[in-house]
Amino acid sequence: MTSVHDDYVIVELSQPDDFDGFRQAARVLLALGAEPEAVRWRWCQPLDSQMQAQDLFASDEVGSLAGRALTPDDLEVLPLPPSAPLRLGKHQLSTLRLACSHCDAGRYALCFRWLHRLQRQPLLRHDALDADWRQIERLAKAVGREIHKMHAFVRFRPATAPDGEPMQIAWFEPEHHGLRAASGFFRRRFPNMRWAILTPQCSVIWDLQQLHLAAGCTADQAPAADAGEALWLAYYRATFNPARLKEQAMQREMPRRYWKNLPEATLISELIGSARSRTQRMLQA
């Protein structure tokens, strides 16, 4: 089996957001003394055996990669020298987990480099201004914001499952790989409803018992609008208060890139345009 002391070793993760696999592989690599520059990280798309286009090391390195890619399970069987485990706090673990869901192709290399440095400099865990840690936090915050937006802006539409049972399906276009991290919110909120959230990268399905990961989809595979959506638009129009409109604050909370998949977004320009005159009429009345 390839040694981590050769030119480099490739660690093949199962998903773009495979933090558990990364954590497993990092533990072994740190115990073996692998240098960060000798480790390359790549990952599969969900339910897809082909490596993603962002894999920078699939063809541009000298020599064949055959037999040189190791999964975390492959690394687990390597004999490890005695070493003290690297312990992290809950906040550091959750920050690393979110950072590994970012779309940045170098996210795993960044996180492993910080862990490698932390192993040699234990006081680094207290350095909030460390450049690597600040970059990890920036990645994590971006993913956290998108997960929050997903919770707010996912809109389900009724559909029929392959077995003929009713199902609610939503379409969302995230920038990062946070769908699996966000799906627990929907499982807790809608435990008695069969639902699926489709995205270009991957999809999650709740069958009333467990969550399933599926391949990515396209927007035309999501259900079209129905009568219930018209009712929602009528409610949205009726509850809109023009006197409380703060357009800049609204666009901070509801960025324009999400509008195309929000049914109520079709009303926003109209409601904003009429807000001043409606407010004036309310004051006169």
| The predicted structure's pLDDT at residue 59 | 36
Can you give the pLDDT at residue 68? 61
Q: Residue 73, class by beta-carbon neighbours within 10 Å (0-12 exposed, 13-18 middle, 19+ buried)? A: exposed
| DSSP codes of every residue in 93-149 | HHHHHHHTTSS-TTHHHHHHHHHHHHHH-GGGGG-TT-HHHHHHHHHHHHHHHHHHH
Q: What is the mean pLDDT of each run of 10 residues along the chain (285 residues)?
A: 60 95 95 93 67 37 49 88 84 97 97 97 94 98 96 91 90 95 96 96 94 91 76 73 70 76 73 69 68
pLDDT at 278: 67
Of the three residues 146, 167, 183, the one that is the final residue of a domain is 146
237 with 278, same domain?
yes
Specify whether 188 is located in the same domain as 239: no
Residue type (1 letter), 200: P
As given in the structure block, the two tokens for residue 91 are 């906040």
Residue count of the chain: 285
pLDDT of residue 31: 93
Q: Which residues contact 33 (CB under 8 A, 6 or more apart)?
A: 4
Examine the fold and report which residue of 106, 122, 146 is the final residue of a domain before the chain moves on: 146
Residue 159 phi/psi, 5-degree rounding, is: -150, 180
Euclidean distance between CA atoms 43 and 199, whole angstroms: 18
Shared-domain flag, residues 176 and 203: yes
Which residues lie closer than 8 Å to 149 by C-beta, 6 or more apart?
255, 258
Residue 17 lies in a domain: yes
Q: Clarify whether residues 231 and 215 are in a common domain.
A: no
Q: How many CA within 13 A on the CB side of residue 133? A: 16
- Judge if 195 and 112 occupy the same domain: no
Which residues, 6 or more positions from 261, have their beta carbon under 8 angstroms from its beta carbon? 153, 155, 171, 172, 173, 219
pLDDT attached to residue 282: 66
| Nearest-angstrom CA–CA distance, 56 and 158 | 41
Which of 111, 129, 146 is the last residue in one of the domains?
A: 146
In a domain? residue 254: yes
Task: Establish if 202 belongs to a structural domain.
Answer: yes
Which residues pair with residue 108 across a beta bridge? none
Q: How far apart are CA 3 and CA 68, in angstroms?
A: 9
Q: Are residues 128 and 188 in the same domain?
A: no
Q: Establish if 2 belongs to a structural domain.
A: no
pTM over cut 0.75: yes
Domain co-membership, 175 together with 254: no
- Does any domain span residue 3? no
Residue 39's alpha-carbon distances to 53, 78, 219, in angstroms, are 19, 16, 37
Query: Residue 171 phi/psi, 5° resolution?
Result: -115, 135
Domain identity same for 158 and 139: no
Domain membership flag for residue 259: yes
Looking at the chain, list the stretches that DSSP marks H as alpha helix, in order from N- to C-terminal side.
Answer: 19-31, 72-76, 90-99, 107-120, 131-153, 179-189, 227-239, 247-253, 265-284
Residue 190 and residue 162 share a domain: yes
Residue 240 in contact with residue 258, Cβ under 8 Å?
A: no
Residue at 191 is within a domain: yes
Q: For residue 273, give its domain range.
A: 227-284
Count of the separate structural domains present in the chain: 3
